[in-house]
Amino acid sequence: MYFAAMITFHDVTISSRGQIRLKDFNLIIEDNHHYIIRGSNGSGKTTLLESIAGIVHATSGTVEYSFIGSDLTWDERFYLRKQHIHYIPTHALQSTLSTHPEFFYQQRYYTIGDVQLPTVQDFLGAESKFDASTFPASFNIGQLLPLELTRLSNGQLKKVLIIRALMKNIPKVLLLDYPLDGLDSQSRQDLCDFIDHMAKSFSIQVIMTDHGDQLPKIIDRQIVLDKFCVIDNSAYEVEPERAEPTIPKNQQTALNNDKPIVEMQGVRIKYGKHTIIDNLNWKINEGERWALTGRNGSGKTTIFSLIYADHPMAYSEKVFLFGKRRGSGESMWDIKKRITYLGPEQLHYFNAATVSKTARQFLLEEKPSSIEVLLDHFNAHTFIDLPVKDLSSGQLQLLLLMKSFIAPKDLLLLDEPFQFLDNESKTKLNSFLSSQLKAGVTMVMITHDIRDVEHWTQFRLHLQ
C-alpha cells in the first residue's frame, strides 16, 4: 500500500552554538504511520523531534509538511505548525516549574504555609476540551484530579503533562521524547494503552523515542539513527529477546550486621486521608546493596527523602541514620555530607540550558584527582568536551551519574538511575556498580526494570 509523505527533510543542516547537529539530512515520514525513533545516546533522536516541532531550524535545506502549504508566510506556517504538532520533551516539567515561582525542591513533603498550590484539576481545567471520562479507566485520571501537583510521583507527573498537551487542542502529530522512562511495567502499559486510545480516537500520528520494547500497539515504523544519520527507516517489529551481557551478579554481603546505616521503625507517612507508608520497619547494614521496588506512587521516593534529610516527618518518625535518630542533634547538612543522592526530582529543578560549562568542567567542580577511569568506563570521551546545555538526555544522565561516583560517600541513593540510557550504557552502569564501588559503600537503588531487579535482589524491599 502506498502512503504519501507527511514530513520530508531535504538536505537539512542544523547547527547550534557552533555544533553541527544534522548535516545534509534526508528523511521521509509517511502519513498514517506511527514511529519509534531508536539510536544510542547522543545519536540525534531529540534533535530530530525538535526539528519536526520547529524548535530548532534548518540553516540550510528544507523541512516540508503535507498539511502546511509552502506558499504561506513564515508566520502562518509557524502558527499552523504549533496547532498541528505538539511536542512533549523529556524534561517537560521544567517549563511548568518556571511559570510557578511558588514551587520549590521537595515541596511536596511540606504542608505548612499559606500558598495554595494548584491541583491537577487546576492545571488541566482552564484548557480542558473533554472530561476524565474520555480516558480509559485504567489511566485513573479521575483519581489524580484533586491532588496537588507537588504530591505526584514521577510517573504520575508524566501522565498529567501528556494529558495537558492534548487538552490544548487535538494535534495531527504528537511528538513524545522518552514518555515511558521512569514508569513501572503496569504504568507503562497504562500509558501505552492511553496513547493507542488517543491516536485511534482522534487520528493523531505518534512519533516517539524509547529504548525498550514495551510500546503502544500502534507503533508500526522505526527510524534508527547513528551519529545524526538515518541508518534504518523500515517497518517496526518487536525484536526477539536479546541475550543480556554477562555481568557478575551482585554477591555483596553486609560488612557489619551490627552497624546499621539506615533503620526505620514503624514509620507512617500520611497526607490528609491518604496514607503513603504504613508501619515500615527496615534496616540497611553497612555495605549492603538494595533494590527498592514498587509501583509509581507507592512511596519509594518518599523513603529516599526521609533518608536524605529532605522530609520534615523524619524528625517525628523513628528514622535512624548512621546510628543516630533524626533530631538528636546532627544538622541536615551533616547528614548530606555522608550521602550521595541522584533522582528525577533533582532533574526537574536542574536546567541544563543555564549551565555554561562543558561536561568536563562540570565534573571537575568536584576537584577529583582524575576522571579518566570514569570516562573510559562509560565511553564518555565522545561528549565530555561538549557544553552541558548541548548534551542529550542520556548523556546528561551519564554525566550526573559520573559526578555521583567521583567521591564515593558512605551511602549511595540512586532513584531510577537507568532513565534515558541506551542498552550499552545500562550494561556499563550495572557493571560499574557491581565491580567498582568500594566495599564499604552502602547502596539503595529504585528501579522498575525486571533485569535490574533480578540483578540486585540479594536485598530487596518491595512496596505495595
The x, y and z cell numbers of residue 145, run together, are 484530579
- Contact status, residue 260 vs residue 285, Cβ threshold 8 Å: yes
Closest CA to 441 of 420, 410, 463: 410
Q: Is the pLDDT of residue 65 over 90?
A: yes
What average pLDDT does the segment 156-164 reach? 78
Q: Is the pLDDT of residue 37 over 90?
A: yes
- Other C-beta atoms closer than 10 Å to the C-beta of 127 total 12
C-alpha 97/C-alpha 95 separation (Å) is 5
The x, y and z cell numbers of residue 36, run together, are 519509534
What average pLDDT does the segment 136-163 reach? 74
The x, y and z cell numbers of residue 101, run together, are 515561582
Q: Is the pLDDT of residue 104 over 50?
A: no
Residue 138: the pLDDT is 63
Residue 30: the pLDDT is 95
Residue 34: the pLDDT is 97
Residue 344: the pLDDT is 76
Specify the length of the chain in residues: 464
Q: Is the pLDDT of residue 103 over 60?
A: no
What average pLDDT does the segment 110-120 reach? 62
- Contact status, residue 224 vs residue 231, Cβ threshold 8 Å: yes
pTM value surpassing 0.95: no
- Other C-beta atoms closer than 10 Å to the C-beta of 199 total 18
Residue 130: the pLDDT is 46
* pLDDT tier, 168 (very low <50, low <70, confident <90, very high otherwise): confident
Closest CA to 456 of 286, 251, 319: 251
What average pLDDT does the segment 164-183 reach? 86
Higher pLDDT, 369 or 266: 266
Q: Per-residue pLDDT tens for 407-438?
A: 888 999 999 899 899 999 999 998 898 888 88
Write phi, then psi, for 145 (nearest 5 degrees).
-55, -45
Residue 379: the pLDDT is 93
Residue 105: the pLDDT is 46
Arithmetic mean of pLDDT over the chain: 83
Residue 247: the pLDDT is 47
Q: Which domains does the chain have, with CATH numbers?
A: 5-235 (3.40.50.300), 256-463 (3.40.50.300)
- Contact status, residue 188 vs residue 214, Cβ threshold 8 Å: yes
Q: Is the pLDDT of residue 6 over 80?
A: yes
Q: 163-190: b or e for each residue (b if 16 or more CB lie within 10 Å)?
A: bbbbbeebbbbbbbbbbbbbbbeebbeb
Q: Is the pLDDT of residue 173 over 80?
A: yes
Alpha-carbon separation of residue 168 from 51, 165, 387 (angstroms):
21, 6, 34
Q: Per-residue pLDDT tens for 359-392?
A: 999 998 877 778 999 999 999 999 999 999 888 8
